[in-house]
Amino acid sequence: MTVDKVIERWRADEAAVRAHLRAVDTGPHGSVVGRSGMEMFEAIFTGELPPSPIGDTLDFVPIRMTLGEAVFQGSPKRRHYNPLGTVHGGWFATLLDSAVGCAIHT
């Protein structure tokens, strides 16, 4: 598979997920009580629950969740750069934190 095909697939996966996500922070946040991690993620993917606001802030989304695995995808924008003109390490660290934390909850 060529690099262009891989990127095309990633973009298609992201567009498919974004098509079902609710607007960020449009609650009902209380409805996560009593759900397993996977049930909560399934509700996010179907639009029943809103996604996390940090994904909106840093422009990344969950792509899929399976037992012990959480895949996120994002595209850092210029606003995520540091003074050196590269993507701030905090962007990557937050993406990693989200993936690892969610993988644990699956």
Name the maximum alpha-carbon separation found in the chain: 45
pLDDT tens by residue, 56-68? 999 999 999 999 9
- The CATH number given to whatever domain includes residue 30 is 3.10.129
Domain that holds residue 76: 3-105
Cα separations (Å) of 86 from 2, 54, 73? 26, 20, 18
- Model's pTM, two decimal places? 0.81
Residue 31 has pLDDT above 80, yes or no: no
Each residue of 69-96: pLDDT tens digit? 999 999 999 999 999 999 999 999 999 9
Q: Residue 103 class from Cβ within 10 Å (0-12 exposed, 13-18 middle, 19+ buried)?
A: middle
> How many folded domains does the chain comprise?
1
Q: How far apart are CA 6 and CA 94, in angstroms?
A: 24
